[in-house]
Amino acid sequence: MAKIIDGKAISQQIKDELKSYVEENDLGKKLCLAVVQAGEDPASKVYVNNKKKACEYIGIGSQSFELPEDTTQDELLSLIDRLNEDETVTGILVQLPLPGQIDEDTVIRRISPKKDVDGFHPMNVGALSIGEKGFVSCTPAGIIELLKRSDIEIEGKECVVVGRSNIVGKPMSMLMLRENATVTICHSRTRKLPEVCKRADILIVAIGKPKFIDHTYIKDGAVVIDVGIHRMENGKLCGDVDYEDVAPLCSAITPVPGGVGPMTIAMLMSNCVQADC
Ligand code: GUN
């Protein structure tokens, strides 16, 4: 039987550790996350609210900036400039996606790399790829924590990452490489995808297609990490992995919900605690 990796419990453990760390080091008044949302995307509103609640839970400050849908790029950039300058703000997060008139890359580049708790700025992405210190994108960082805290060895293992996004696939590959795995990155044009995935001791799936990965992609005893989250017609959530079909073959697997999802906010809080100006 596959071990079910409990992301909810592990994320709670991390938040509790951070809460104690903030208390013991009297950081509560020194740290403040500024969360910026432009527009009315309902999913973004939920995420932003959860981020503010998490700040409150671990005992650090937060400020939120809710901008209208028709905000111009210049208006958003001047808010970022102001937050970059503000010494009481130690972390800045601009919730994505942004309204169509605003270029996300320009916005991400404007955030000071020292306050970029999402780890999206090219300086932080570059630091990760050359093994220097910097903020690491939260979802991939959370997956490393899930593996380590579940006593799953990474060093020397064959790791296949399906998906090459800047937020998950690419940083995930860099982190697994840093942990001394042998890493293959796959994407929509990869030939013989099931065959390549079947090589994996650790398979990490972030392709954004519901239940795409079935048992034909899985090596016996593999660890499977599912980054996807989709709402099905029956209202239930599923991942990129067909859990029922795949779980019997795995040594360990993340469920959806309750696997990777809760780790993103826990790692955001970890980045916020490490931020100081
Ligand atoms: N939208 C969906 N996920 C994220 C995230 O991790 N950070 C930001 N800024 N926006 C998102």
Q: Do 164 and 86 fall within a single domain?
A: no
Asked if residue 47 belongs to a domain, the reply is yes
Q: How far is the CA of 47 from the centre of ligand 1 (A)?
A: 8
Look at ligand 1, atom 1, and give the residue with the nearest C-alpha. 96
Atom of ligand 1 nearest to the CA of 268: 6
Report which ligand 1 atom has the smallest distance to the Cα of 44: 1
Mean pLDDT of the chain: 97
Task: For residue 95, indicate whether it is catalytic.
Answer: yes
Which pLDDT belongs to residue 1? 83
Kindly list the protein residues whose Cβ atom lies closer than 6 A to any atom of ligand 1. Answer: 93-96, 118, 138, 264
Q: Report pLDDT digits (tens) over 83-136.
A: 999 999 999 999 999 999 999 999 999 999 999 999 999 999 999 999 999 999
Q: Based on the fold, state whether residues 205 and 95 are members of the same structural domain.
A: no
- How many structural domains does the chain have? 2
Residue 12 has pLDDT above 60, yes or no: yes
Out of 42-46, 208-212, 215-219, 242-246, pick the least confident.
42-46
**What's phi and psi for 100, nearest 5 deg?**
-55, -30
pLDDT for 276 equals: 73
Task: Determine the residue of 105, 111, 116, 118 to mutate for testing ligand 1's pocket, defined as the one with the most ligand atoms within 8 A of the Cβ atom.
Answer: 118
Give the tens place of pLDDT for each residue, 169-226.
Answer: 999 999 999 999 999 999 999 999 999 999 999 999 999 999 999 999 999 999 999 9
Same structural domain, 150 and 84: no
Q: Report residue 69's pLDDT band, with 50, 70 and 90 as the boundaries.
A: very high
Q: Are residues 143 and 208 in the same domain?
A: yes
Angle subtended by helix axes 261-274 and 138-149, to nearest 10: 100
CATH number for position 91? 3.40.50.10860
Q: Are residues 61 and 164 in the same domain?
A: no
Distance 273 CA to ligand 1 centre (A): 18
Sign of CA dihedral 151, 156, 161, 164: positive
Q: Is 186 found in the same domain as 148?
A: yes
CA of 219 to the centre of ligand 1 (A): 32
Q: Are 153 and 235 in a shared domain?
A: yes
Among 100, 115, 130, identify where a domain stops.
115
Does residue 263 carry a pLDDT above 60? yes
Which of 115, 130, 151 is the last residue in one of the domains? 115
Q: What pLDDT is recorded for position 228?
A: 97
Question: Does 247 lie in the same domain as 151?
Answer: yes
Query: 120 lies in a domain?
Result: no
For residues 97 and 264, give the distance between their C-alpha atoms in angstroms, rounded to a whole number: 16
Asked if the structure places residue 272 within a domain, the reply is: no
Residue 52 lies in a domain: yes
Encode 107-142: b = buried (16+ Cβ within 10 Å), e = exposed. Answer: bbbbbbbbbbbbbbbebbbebbeeeeebbbbbbbbb
* 53 occurs within a structural domain: yes
HEC-encoded secondary structure of the chain: CCEECCHHHHHHHHHHHHHHHHHHCCCCCCCEEEEEEECCCHHHHHHHHHHHHHHHHHCCEEEEEEECCCCCHHHHHHHHHHHHHCCCCCEEEECCCCCCCCCHHHHHHHCCHHHECCCCCHHHHHHHHCCCCCCCCHHHHHHHHHHHHCCCCCCCCEEEEECCCCCCHHHHHHHHHHCCCEEEEECCCCCCHHHHHCCCCEEEECCCCCCCECHHHCCCCCEEEECCCEECCCCCEECCECHHHHHHHCCEECCCCCCCHHHHHHHHHHHHHHCCC
- Predicted pLDDT at 48: 96
211 shares a domain with 151: yes
- CATH of residue 246's domain is 3.40.50.720
For residue 30, give its domain range: 26-115
Report the alpha-carbon distance of residue 55 to residue 91 in Å, rounded.
11
The reply to whether 51 belongs to the active site is yes
Instruction: Tell me what pLDDT residue 110 has.
Output: 98
Segment 147-174 mean pLDDT: 98
Same domain for 252 and 143? yes
How much is the pLDDT for 18? Answer: 98
For residue 277, tell me if it sits in a domain: no
List 15, 114, 116, 118, catalytic entry: 118
